[in-house]
Amino acid sequence: MKKILIIVLLGFVLLGGAGLLISSRKGKAAPKSSHLKEAETAFSKKDYLKARSLYEKTMEESQDIDQLKQIQKKIEESNIKIIFSPLIEECSTKYIVNPKDVLIKIAGKFNTTVGLIMRANNLTSDIIKPRQELKVNTCEFSVVVDRSQNLLFLKRAGKIIKTYIVSTGKENSTPIGNFKIANKIEHPTWFKTGAVIPPDSPENILGSRWMGFDIRGYGIHGTTKPNDLGRQVTLGCVRMRNEDVEELFDLIPKGAEVTIID
Protein backbone atom coordinates (compact mmCIF):
# COMPACT_ATOMS: atom_id res chain seq x y z
CA MET A 1 0.00 0.00 0.00
CA LYS A 2 2.89 2.38 0.80
CA LYS A 3 4.39 1.71 -2.63
CA ILE A 4 1.09 2.55 -4.31
CA LEU A 5 0.79 5.78 -2.33
CA ILE A 6 4.29 6.89 -3.31
CA ILE A 7 3.49 6.18 -6.96
CA VAL A 8 0.23 8.13 -6.75
CA LEU A 9 1.86 11.12 -5.09
CA LEU A 10 4.70 11.10 -7.59
CA GLY A 11 2.05 11.00 -10.27
CA PHE A 12 0.57 14.16 -8.80
CA VAL A 13 3.89 15.91 -9.38
CA LEU A 14 4.49 14.52 -12.87
CA LEU A 15 0.96 15.29 -14.02
CA GLY A 16 0.69 18.80 -12.57
CA GLY A 17 -1.08 18.08 -9.29
CA ALA A 18 -0.42 19.09 -5.72
CA GLY A 19 1.36 15.92 -4.57
CA LEU A 20 4.72 15.76 -2.85
CA LEU A 21 8.01 14.08 -3.58
CA ILE A 22 8.22 11.82 -0.58
CA SER A 23 10.70 9.16 -1.67
CA SER A 24 13.14 10.39 0.98
CA ARG A 25 10.55 10.60 3.72
CA LYS A 26 10.47 8.07 6.52
CA GLY A 27 7.36 6.19 7.51
CA LYS A 28 7.43 7.39 11.10
CA ALA A 29 4.23 7.88 13.02
CA ALA A 30 3.30 11.53 13.13
CA PRO A 31 1.26 13.39 15.72
CA LYS A 32 -1.69 15.40 14.52
CA SER A 33 -0.69 18.90 13.53
CA SER A 34 -2.82 21.91 14.36
CA HIS A 35 -3.66 22.25 10.66
CA LEU A 36 -4.87 18.65 10.52
CA LYS A 37 -7.11 19.11 13.54
CA GLU A 38 -8.54 22.29 12.04
CA ALA A 39 -9.04 20.54 8.70
CA GLU A 40 -10.97 17.70 10.32
CA THR A 41 -13.17 20.19 12.16
CA ALA A 42 -13.86 22.15 8.97
CA PHE A 43 -14.64 18.94 7.06
CA SER A 44 -17.08 17.79 9.74
CA LYS A 45 -18.82 21.17 9.47
CA LYS A 46 -19.00 20.78 5.65
CA ASP A 47 -16.71 23.77 5.11
CA TYR A 48 -14.92 21.92 2.34
CA LEU A 49 -13.00 24.86 0.89
CA LYS A 50 -11.40 25.58 4.25
CA ALA A 51 -10.86 21.88 4.91
CA ARG A 52 -9.10 21.39 1.58
CA SER A 53 -6.80 24.34 2.16
CA LEU A 54 -5.85 23.06 5.61
CA TYR A 55 -5.34 19.50 4.39
CA GLU A 56 -3.01 20.82 1.69
CA LYS A 57 -0.97 22.67 4.33
CA THR A 58 -0.80 19.47 6.37
CA MET A 59 0.38 17.63 3.25
CA GLU A 60 3.39 19.95 3.12
CA GLU A 61 4.24 19.33 6.77
CA SER A 62 3.71 15.59 7.24
CA GLN A 63 6.53 13.05 7.11
CA ASP A 64 4.30 10.03 7.71
CA ILE A 65 3.34 7.83 4.73
CA ASP A 66 0.12 6.50 6.27
CA GLN A 67 -0.95 9.99 7.29
CA LEU A 68 -0.21 11.30 3.79
CA LYS A 69 -2.44 8.60 2.36
CA GLN A 70 -5.35 9.66 4.56
CA ILE A 71 -4.78 13.36 3.86
CA GLN A 72 -4.70 12.76 0.12
CA LYS A 73 -8.00 10.89 0.38
CA LYS A 74 -9.56 13.78 2.30
CA ILE A 75 -8.33 16.33 -0.25
CA GLU A 76 -9.92 14.29 -3.03
CA GLU A 77 -13.17 13.92 -1.06
CA SER A 78 -13.20 17.68 -0.50
CA ASN A 79 -12.61 18.34 -4.20
CA ILE A 80 -15.60 16.24 -5.25
CA LYS A 81 -17.87 17.59 -2.52
CA ILE A 82 -17.05 21.16 -3.59
CA ILE A 83 -17.75 20.38 -7.25
CA PHE A 84 -21.04 18.62 -6.42
CA SER A 85 -22.25 21.44 -4.16
CA PRO A 86 -23.87 24.84 -4.91
CA LEU A 87 -20.72 26.56 -3.62
CA ILE A 88 -19.30 28.97 -6.21
CA GLU A 89 -15.50 28.63 -6.44
CA GLU A 90 -12.71 29.42 -8.89
CA CYS A 91 -13.90 26.93 -11.51
CA SER A 92 -17.60 27.80 -11.51
CA THR A 93 -19.98 30.68 -12.03
CA LYS A 94 -23.55 31.65 -11.21
CA TYR A 95 -25.90 31.44 -14.19
CA ILE A 96 -29.37 33.02 -14.36
CA VAL A 97 -31.82 30.86 -16.31
CA ASN A 98 -33.38 32.52 -19.36
CA PRO A 99 -37.00 31.84 -20.46
CA LYS A 100 -36.01 29.51 -23.32
CA ASP A 101 -33.26 27.67 -21.47
CA VAL A 102 -33.13 23.93 -20.89
CA LEU A 103 -30.37 22.12 -19.04
CA ILE A 104 -28.86 20.50 -22.12
CA LYS A 105 -28.57 23.93 -23.77
CA ILE A 106 -26.85 25.42 -20.71
CA ALA A 107 -24.53 22.41 -20.49
CA GLY A 108 -23.56 22.85 -24.14
CA LYS A 109 -22.91 26.55 -23.68
CA PHE A 110 -20.43 25.91 -20.88
CA ASN A 111 -19.03 22.60 -22.20
CA THR A 112 -20.23 20.74 -19.13
CA THR A 113 -22.83 18.03 -18.47
CA VAL A 114 -26.46 17.98 -17.44
CA GLY A 115 -25.52 15.51 -14.72
CA LEU A 116 -23.00 17.90 -13.18
CA ILE A 117 -25.43 20.83 -13.25
CA MET A 118 -28.06 18.68 -11.54
CA ARG A 119 -25.67 17.38 -8.89
CA ALA A 120 -24.16 20.79 -8.15
CA ASN A 121 -27.58 22.38 -7.69
CA ASN A 122 -29.29 19.48 -5.89
CA LEU A 123 -31.83 19.14 -8.72
CA THR A 124 -34.06 16.07 -8.72
CA SER A 125 -35.61 16.98 -12.08
CA ASP A 126 -34.31 18.55 -15.29
CA ILE A 127 -37.12 21.12 -15.14
CA ILE A 128 -35.82 24.66 -14.56
CA LYS A 129 -37.53 28.05 -14.32
CA PRO A 130 -36.69 31.53 -15.64
CA ARG A 131 -34.58 33.61 -13.24
CA GLN A 132 -33.50 30.49 -11.38
CA GLU A 133 -29.87 30.66 -10.25
CA LEU A 134 -27.61 27.75 -11.13
CA LYS A 135 -24.00 26.94 -10.37
CA VAL A 136 -22.24 25.96 -13.61
CA ASN A 137 -18.75 24.55 -14.06
CA THR A 138 -16.40 26.69 -16.17
CA CYS A 139 -13.12 24.73 -16.06
CA GLU A 140 -12.05 21.93 -18.35
CA PHE A 141 -11.93 18.33 -17.14
CA SER A 142 -9.50 15.81 -18.59
CA VAL A 143 -8.34 12.29 -17.78
CA VAL A 144 -4.94 10.61 -17.61
CA VAL A 145 -4.75 6.81 -17.39
CA ASP A 146 -1.54 5.12 -16.23
CA ARG A 147 -1.97 1.63 -17.61
CA SER A 148 1.07 0.11 -15.87
CA GLN A 149 -0.23 1.20 -12.46
CA ASN A 150 -3.94 0.80 -13.29
CA LEU A 151 -4.71 4.31 -12.09
CA LEU A 152 -6.95 6.99 -13.59
CA PHE A 153 -6.25 10.61 -12.72
CA LEU A 154 -9.10 13.11 -13.08
CA LYS A 155 -7.84 16.62 -13.83
CA ARG A 156 -9.66 19.93 -13.63
CA ALA A 157 -7.99 23.05 -15.02
CA GLY A 158 -4.79 21.01 -15.32
CA LYS A 159 -4.70 19.93 -11.67
CA ILE A 160 -5.34 16.39 -10.45
CA ILE A 161 -8.41 16.36 -8.23
CA LYS A 162 -9.07 12.63 -7.81
CA THR A 163 -7.40 9.28 -8.40
CA TYR A 164 -9.32 6.11 -9.21
CA ILE A 165 -8.16 2.49 -9.24
CA VAL A 166 -9.05 0.92 -12.61
CA SER A 167 -8.37 -2.16 -14.70
CA THR A 168 -6.66 -1.93 -18.08
CA GLY A 169 -6.00 -4.33 -20.95
CA LYS A 170 -4.22 -7.62 -20.55
CA GLU A 171 -0.96 -7.93 -22.48
CA ASN A 172 -0.83 -4.12 -22.73
CA SER A 173 -3.83 -4.06 -25.08
CA THR A 174 -5.01 -0.66 -23.84
CA PRO A 175 -3.75 1.80 -26.49
CA ILE A 176 -1.28 4.53 -25.52
CA GLY A 177 -1.88 8.05 -26.82
CA ASN A 178 -4.23 11.01 -26.79
CA PHE A 179 -7.94 10.48 -27.34
CA LYS A 180 -11.25 12.24 -26.85
CA ILE A 181 -14.56 11.09 -25.40
CA ALA A 182 -16.69 10.58 -28.51
CA ASN A 183 -19.88 9.15 -27.02
CA LYS A 184 -21.50 8.54 -23.64
CA ILE A 185 -24.16 5.95 -22.84
CA GLU A 186 -26.05 5.20 -19.64
CA HIS A 187 -26.81 1.52 -19.01
CA PRO A 188 -25.09 0.36 -22.22
CA THR A 189 -25.94 -2.77 -24.15
CA TRP A 190 -22.92 -4.98 -24.82
CA PHE A 191 -22.71 -6.13 -28.41
CA LYS A 192 -20.60 -9.22 -27.85
CA THR A 193 -19.54 -11.26 -30.88
CA GLY A 194 -22.55 -13.37 -31.79
CA ALA A 195 -24.75 -12.02 -28.98
CA VAL A 196 -26.47 -8.92 -27.62
CA ILE A 197 -26.14 -8.63 -23.82
CA PRO A 198 -28.77 -6.29 -22.27
CA PRO A 199 -27.83 -3.68 -19.65
CA ASP A 200 -29.36 -5.53 -16.69
CA SER A 201 -27.59 -8.83 -17.42
CA PRO A 202 -24.85 -9.94 -14.98
CA GLU A 203 -22.94 -11.01 -18.09
CA ASN A 204 -22.78 -7.42 -19.35
CA ILE A 205 -19.19 -6.49 -18.51
CA LEU A 206 -19.75 -2.81 -19.39
CA GLY A 207 -21.45 -2.06 -16.08
CA SER A 208 -23.59 1.04 -15.66
CA ARG A 209 -21.84 3.55 -17.96
CA TRP A 210 -19.89 3.70 -21.23
CA MET A 211 -17.68 6.55 -22.45
CA GLY A 212 -16.28 5.67 -25.86
CA PHE A 213 -13.03 7.06 -27.28
CA ASP A 214 -12.60 8.41 -30.79
CA ILE A 215 -10.97 5.08 -31.63
CA ARG A 216 -13.38 2.27 -32.38
CA GLY A 217 -13.95 -0.35 -29.70
CA TYR A 218 -12.17 1.38 -26.81
CA GLY A 219 -13.49 3.42 -23.92
CA ILE A 220 -14.04 3.77 -20.18
CA HIS A 221 -16.83 1.73 -18.62
CA GLY A 222 -18.15 0.20 -15.41
CA THR A 223 -17.87 -3.39 -14.32
CA THR A 224 -19.67 -6.42 -12.96
CA LYS A 225 -16.34 -7.68 -11.60
CA PRO A 226 -15.06 -5.09 -9.09
CA ASN A 227 -12.61 -7.59 -7.59
CA ASP A 228 -10.57 -7.39 -10.80
CA LEU A 229 -9.83 -3.68 -10.38
CA GLY A 230 -6.16 -2.82 -10.15
CA ARG A 231 -5.19 -5.53 -12.62
CA GLN A 232 -4.58 -5.78 -16.37
CA VAL A 233 -7.49 -8.04 -17.29
CA THR A 234 -9.66 -6.27 -19.88
CA LEU A 235 -9.81 -6.57 -23.66
CA GLY A 236 -8.29 -3.09 -23.92
CA CYS A 237 -10.85 -0.79 -22.30
CA VAL A 238 -10.47 1.04 -19.00
CA ARG A 239 -12.73 -0.54 -16.40
CA MET A 240 -13.97 1.28 -13.27
CA ARG A 241 -16.14 0.56 -10.27
CA ASN A 242 -19.75 1.42 -11.20
CA GLU A 243 -20.09 4.18 -8.60
CA ASP A 244 -16.81 5.68 -9.81
CA VAL A 245 -17.70 5.58 -13.50
CA GLU A 246 -21.10 7.14 -12.73
CA GLU A 247 -19.31 9.98 -10.94
CA LEU A 248 -16.87 10.45 -13.82
CA PHE A 249 -19.71 10.24 -16.36
CA ASP A 250 -21.38 13.27 -14.76
CA LEU A 251 -18.13 15.23 -14.62
CA ILE A 252 -16.60 14.95 -18.08
CA PRO A 253 -18.43 16.01 -21.27
CA LYS A 254 -18.14 14.63 -24.76
CA GLY A 255 -14.94 15.93 -26.29
CA ALA A 256 -12.98 15.68 -23.03
CA GLU A 257 -9.34 14.71 -23.51
CA VAL A 258 -8.08 11.30 -22.41
CA THR A 259 -4.36 10.61 -22.28
CA ILE A 260 -3.14 7.05 -21.75
CA ILE A 261 0.46 6.52 -20.65
CA ASP A 262 2.51 3.41 -19.95
Ranges of the chain with pLDDT below 70: 1-32
As separate numbers, helices (DSSP H) first and strands (DSSP E) second, the chain gives 7, 12
**Is residue 90 situated within a structural domain?**
no
**Are 192 and 106 contained in the same domain?**
no
Q: Give the active site residue among 35, 91, 139, 237.
A: 237
pLDDT tens for 154-164 read: 999 999 999 99
**Are 59 and 100 contained in the same domain?**
no
Q: Give the active site residue among 91, 139, 187, 221.
A: 221
The domain containing residue 129 runs over which residues? 95-137
How many domains does the chain divide into?
3
**Which pLDDT score, from 0 to 100, does residue 6 have?**
41
**Is residue 185 situated within a structural domain?**
yes
187 is catalytic: no
**Is residue 148 situated within a structural domain?**
yes
**Which pLDDT score, from 0 to 100, does residue 31 have?**
57
**Which pLDDT score, from 0 to 100, does residue 10 have?**
44
pLDDT tens for 38-69 read: 999 999 999 999 999 999 999 988 888 999 99
**Which pLDDT score, from 0 to 100, does residue 32 have?**
66
221 is catalytic: yes
**Is residue 101 situated within a structural domain?**
yes
Residue 23 backbone class (left: φ over 0; alpha: ψ -120 to 50; beta: rest): alpha
- CATH number of the domain encompassing residue 125: 3.10.350.10
DSSP state of 256: -
**Which pLDDT score, from 0 to 100, does residue 63 have?**
85
**Is residue 75 situated within a structural domain?**
yes
